[in-house]
Amino acid sequence: MSHEENRHMAFICSKGNLDMAYPALIMGWAALGNGVDVTIFFTFWGLDIIRKKYMDKLQLPPVGVAGMRTGMMGVPFDVGIPQIMGVLPGMTAVATALMRKKMAELEVPPISEFLQMLQDAGARLYACKMTVDMMGLTREDFMDGVEIVTAGDFIDMTEGAQIVFI
């Protein structure tokens, strides 16, 4: 088509809650499906998304999530859930299970499988070296294919890319 360089999108995942893991994975997958190059950089709490031990155990704590209303649970009244309820024991597990169920219904795969699909489709996954060091982690803590790089390396690798910070 054209002689220009291929379009490149880079996602920065800085949050590790379940609801903050999906945006980059879904948009990244859509980008790959449109022939766009994809790089995902995981930093701070976002590292949980690629940690073998936690990737399929990400949670959705309901406190502070205004969008979580009863309608999501199939209740006819779509009303907000009082924030104080969110701090009760077990509420995070309930909200997490609900979101997992909703995502599965939409044929969205679990995080580990999704990340493997992204890698198979050509996405490059990087862990932020400073956060890795800060948390005392090593390469072994992460899924296969993840490379640990510095923020400077990431900036070099994404020259000209469109950056999405999540």
| Residues near another protein, by CB under 8 A | 26, 29-30, 32-35, 106-109, 117, 120-122
| Residue 129 CB, nearest approach to another protein (Å) | 27
Q: Which two tokens stand for residue 14?
A: 């800085």
Strands 147-149, 8-13: pairing kind: unpaired
- Nearest residue to 59 via CA among 76, 45, 73, 43: 45
Q: Please, are residues 133 and 44 in contact by the beta-carbon 8 Å criterion?
A: no
Is 41 or 114 the residue whose CB approaches another protein more closely?
114
Is 31 or 128 the residue whose CB approaches another protein more closely?
31
Distances (CA, A) of 143 to 67, 88, 125, 127: 31, 33, 10, 10
| Residue 149 CB, nearest approach to another protein (Å) | 23
| Residue 116 CB, nearest approach to another protein (Å) | 8
| Residue 119 CB, nearest approach to another protein (Å) | 9
The beta strands (E) that lie in 50-155 are given as: 124-128, 147-149
Is 80 or 122 the residue whose CB approaches another protein more closely?
122
Is 111 or 128 the residue whose CB approaches another protein more closely?
111
